[in-house]
Structures are given as C-alpha cells and as structure tokens.
Amino acid sequence: MSKTKKSNSIPKHLIVVGAVLIILAIVFVVLILKQGSGQPTNNQVKETENNTSNQDSLEATNINSDIFNPETDSIETVGNLDTAIATTVGSNLITQDGKVVNDKGQVVQNNALPMTDFAPRLSEPVDPNSLIEGVIKIRADENGFSPSEFTVLSGEPVTLSLSAIGLGSRLVFENKSLIALELPVPADYTMAKTFNAPAPGRYVFYQDMPGRINQKGVMIVE
C-alpha cells in the first residue's frame, strides 16, 4: 500500500487574497501620507472659506456701525426754518444757531450715506467767483488740491467748494465718519457742500480718481 505525499505549495486563492491585502495596505499608507503632506482637505477648505466669510461679515458690520442709520439713530429736528439761510444755491440750510439742516428741518449727519436726505447735499453748479466770503474754495487739477490744507472750528457750519479744473474730481475723506462729505464734481464745474465741522482733529482727504489717489490734503479742525 503506497503512501500519498502531502503538497507544501500554498493554494492559489490564498495567494490572490494576500496580494489584494498588500495592495490595499499600500493604498491606505499613500492616502495617510498625502493627507499629512500639507494639502488641504475638503473640510479644511470649507473651514477656511467659512472663516473668511465670517471675517468679511465682521468687517462689513464694523463699517456699517459707523454709518448713520435713521431707523435706529436719533434725529434732531429744528421747528422754524424761516430765518435759515443757504450759502450756496442748492446746498443745505444753516439755522440761526449754526445747525446745518435739510428741507424738513432735520440736522444732517456727516456719516450718513451720500445722496440721502440725512447727508449734506451737493449744491448746484456755481460760478466760483460768486461764492460768498467765508466759503472754503479748493481747486483740483492734474497736480492735486490747492490749497491742500485748511482750518475750521469744531461744530461750526462750513461750506466747502471744489472746482474741477480740466478734468473731473472727487474729494473723499479717509475717515469713514465723514463719508457724507464726498465732493464729486465734473470737469470744469464748481460745486459745494455745507456741513457742521466734526470733532477737533486732522482729517485727511484724497483724490478718488484713477491714477490720482496719491493727491491728498488735510482739514484741520480746532
């Protein structure tokens, strides 16, 4: 009676399974290394986007909090406008006690959105030679503002005119609390705004036109 020898070879199906497991292990290791290589994952990208969005919203909120809001901020109203005067055609009225108001008698705000009822109103085009004494007259040409510095008293009514010589001009204050005082003037026109001077300090303004934003001046309030 002959004896049957046992085979020492590994079954083929076990070899296949082992190969598959080795491949899966290699893929797993590669994925782990890739995740730690500094490349952002989808979750990291979404988190960054959310953080950026939240920061933008916070900055927008901070800016908007400085803007006059007629729905939440107090509005001072003057009852009698019979004696109020305007220094320039189309500009706001000045009451006898020196308050700059709109046609409804509401005191205008330097931090109101431009072109709204609560912002100082842009005058009609005027002849600069016809402006009364006391109006601060600024000329703007390709070389900048002239004069580039002037002084006013805090709380006092101020009429600021801007003459755009040869090309359009847009005088804008850097301080957002004076956002309403921007003066956009077409080329070869003169226009003005009347407002109450803000708190004491130095307020820088600049030429908000392409290629000319480095042209600056300063309003000194004492």
Q: What is the mean pLDDT of each run of 10 residues along the chain (222 residues)?
A: 52 64 67 53 48 44 71 92 94 97 97 96 96 97 98 98 98 98 98 98 98 97 98
Output the CA angle 205-198-132, nearest 5 degrees: 75
Domain limits, the chain: 122-221
54-67 residue pLDDT tens:
444 434 334 456 89
CATH number of 122-221: 2.60.40.420
pLDDT of residue 50: 52
What gap in Å lies between CA 30 and CA 182, rounded to an integer? 59
Q: Is 145 exposed, middle or buried (0-12, 13-18, 19+ CB in 10 A)?
A: buried
Q: Kindly report the pTM of this predicted structure.
A: 0.72
Token digits of residue 170: 């847009």
Q: Quick one: DSSP state of residue 107?
A: B
